[in-house]
Amino acid sequence: MTKLTIIAHITAHAGKGELLKRELEKLLVPTRNEPGCLQYDLHQDNENAEHFMFCESWESRETWQAHMTAQPLQDYLKAVEGAVEGFTLYEMSHIG
């Protein structure tokens, strides 16, 4: 089983940064308690308050896939509908 690292960049539409931040913060505790979650850290850009990044580590791709269908993430997607300008996700294998 290979540990999986996820780097996700999320950018809010102008004026929606605080909404996005509040909703992203709601994901922290429930996600950290999900089976297979090793790390789930949220960061905010110092120069652009509407740009956020998650750095995540999962025991496997399967545990991350379970997270992607979990209720907290589904609730987040509904709450931020129309507020997200950009989303880029990097799925990476841990090698050392």
Structure confidence by residue, pLDDT tens digits, 76-94 = 999 999 999 999 999 998 7
Whether the per-residue pLDDT at 1 is higher than 80: the answer is no
pLDDT score at 95: 79
What's the Rg (C-alpha) of the chain? 13
Provide, rounded to the nearest whole percent, the portion of the chain with pLDDT above 70.
99
Own/partner pairs for 20-27, CB < 8 Å, 24+ apart? 20/50, 20/52, 20/80, 20/83, 20/84, 21/52, 23/76, 23/79, 23/80, 24/52, 24/54, 24/76, 26/72, 26/75, 26/76, 27/72, 27/73, 27/76
pLDDT score at 5: 96
For residues 21-47, average pLDDT: 97
For residues 66-81, average pLDDT: 95
Domains of the chain and CATH, by start:
4-93 (3.30.70.100)
